[in-house]
Amino acid sequence: MTDAAAPVRLDLTGDIADLTRALCDIPSVSGDEQVIADAIEAALRGYPHLEVIRDGHCVIARTHLGRAERVVLAGHIDTVPIAGNLPTRTVDGVIHGRGTVDMKGGVAVALALAAGVPEPTRDVTYVFYDCEEIEAVRNGLGRLSRTRPELLRADFAVLGEPTSAVVEGGCQGTMRIEVTTTGTAAHSARSWMGSNAIHHAGQVLDVLNRYAAQQIEVDGLVYREGLNAVGISGGIAGNVIPDRCSVLVNYRFAPDKTLEQAEAHLRDLFAGFEITVTDASPAARPGLNAPVAAGFVAAVGGTPGPKYGWTDVALFSTLGVPAVNFGPGDPSLAHKDDERCPVSDLTTCLDALRRYLLA
């Protein structure tokens, strides 16, 4: 019998690059976040100015200083699957490895602030949560919003999602649907007696190939939409004409649309086909005209842009909490095998958020 592995110890007050690497080197693919959650909880419990709460694999730490405002700094601790890109390595001031961009760099910044800013001018709730990279029903932040909504009450929220250290407002919505074609099964040696559902799927692909994705301006930011096939399945054997085929389609839509409007658009596009919505998360408008958001932008500097992709700013929007994305790393590198984050992005975000919390 071997001894249990020693718990991982995190130094929250040391070098931000070292903390980022330490977090990334703890594998935490969605659904397997216990070790990293344990390490984060243990590290935060060493600071008496923080109340620390554990809820499943979510770790919440908050100040209670009686300030006039409360801000949430949130980040997910899970990653997409590892692709031979751990352990991390640093080359010429850039940290390479899974999670460096999406989004353990942002988590490292929040942890450093939690430890290093004991008396912010705003009360702060730090939220580190699980299962963001998979289906919405398992999202840890979503679970908190349903079971412990008091933990997310705030005047403003910042998601540490990768933005190359500039503010990104709102986010796209996302919806996945299965578009199913049907036919008649038959032996492939007598194919004329059947009707091939996979061949009929060409009509679905024709719709996608003809589709012109829009660019839509919302509150001064331009969002690029997208409609793409991301999977296809059909057939039961190599000698059977298939009677069903399903094309999985992902729609990324601008925040001018509700979920209901997005679904109606897809049903119009694929009229006549069997459609099943398999997953959906709403978009969020930028909300940069809210005074708390404008104050944040002024404090951290830079010119805001739109967030391409979905983030949990949408969840905060449904809770009535203005929220923005602001974190280290180029978002176009998220989920890529060569994921990498400049150390300069980490220090820029850390310095900017420290200024904001002490302003």
Cross-strand pairs, 227? 251
The verdict on residue 334 lying in a domain is: yes
- The torsion angles phi and psi of 199, rounded to 5 degrees, stand at -60, -40
What is the domain count for the chain?
2
Q: Inform me whether the pLDDT recorded for 2 exceeds 60.
A: no
> Residue 238's domain is classified under what CATH number?
3.30.70.360
Three-state secondary structure readout of the chain? CCCCCCCCCCCCCCCHHHHHHHHHCCCCECCCCHHHHHHHHHHHCCCCCCEEEEECCEEEEECCCCCCCEEEEEEECCECCCCCCCCCEEECCEEECCCHHHHHHHHHHHHHHHHHCCCCCCEEEEEEECCCCCCHHHCHHHHHHHHCHHHHCCCEEEECCCCCCCCEECECEEEEEEEEEECECEEHHHHHHCECHHHHHHHHHHHHHHCCCCEEEECCEEEECEEEEEEEEECCCCCEECCEEEEEEEEEECCCCCHHHHHHHHHHHCCCCEEEEEEEECCECCCCCCHHHHHHHHHHCCCCEECCCCCCHHHHHHCCCCEEECCCCCHHHCCCCCCEEEHHHHHHHHHHHHHHHHC
pLDDT of 289? 83
- pLDDT confidence band for 3 (50 / 70 / 90): very low
The verdict on residue 230 lying in a domain is: yes
d(CA 335, CA 351): 26
> Residue 327's domain is classified under what CATH number?
3.40.630.10
Q: Inform me whether the pLDDT recorded for 253 exceeds 70.
A: yes
Whether residue 161 sits in one domain with residue 304: yes
Whether residue 179 sits in one domain with residue 167: no
Whether residue 90 sits in one domain with residue 44: yes
Q: Inform me whether the pLDDT recorded for 205 exceeds 70.
A: yes
The verdict on residue 10 lying in a domain is: no
Whether residue 152 sits in one domain with residue 22: yes
What amino acid positions are annotated as catalytic residues?
A: 78, 132
- pLDDT confidence band for 122 (50 / 70 / 90): very high
Whether residue 162 sits in one domain with residue 46: yes
Whether residue 178 sits in one domain with residue 71: no
Contact 286, 306 (CB under 8 A): yes
The verdict on residue 189 lying in a domain is: yes
Lowest mean per-residue pLDDT among 196-200, 255-259, 316-320, 342-346: 316-320
Boundary (domain end) residue, out of 258, 281, 304: 281
The verdict on residue 94 lying in a domain is: yes
Whether residue 147 sits in one domain with residue 21: yes
* Domain coverage including residue 294: 16-171+284-358
Whether residue 47 sits in one domain with residue 135: yes
Whether residue 300 sits in one domain with residue 218: no
The verdict on residue 3 lying in a domain is: no
Whether residue 316 sits in one domain with residue 220: no
pLDDT of 114? 98
The verdict on residue 231 lying in a domain is: yes
Please write the tens of the pLDDT for every residue from 125-158. 999 999 999 988 899 999 999 999 999 999 999 9
Whether residue 72 sits in one domain with residue 56: yes
The verdict on residue 331 lying in a domain is: yes
Please write the tens of the pLDDT for every residue from 56-115. 999 999 999 999 999 999 999 999 999 999 999 999 999 999 999 999 999 999 999 999
d(CA 145, CA 314): 12
Q: Inform me whether the pLDDT recorded for 279 exceeds 50.
A: yes
d(CA 226, CA 177): 14
Neighbours of 357 (CB within 10 A): 19
Dihedral sign, Cα of residue 23, residue 314, residue 350, residue 150: negative
Whether residue 342 sits in one domain with residue 313: yes
Boundary (domain end) residue, out of 227, 262, 281: 281
Boundary (domain end) residue, out of 281, 301, 325: 281
Instruction: Quote the tokens at residue 299.
Output: 């404090």
Global confidence as pTM: 0.87
Cα–chain center distance at 28? 14
Neighbours of 15 (CB within 10 A): 13
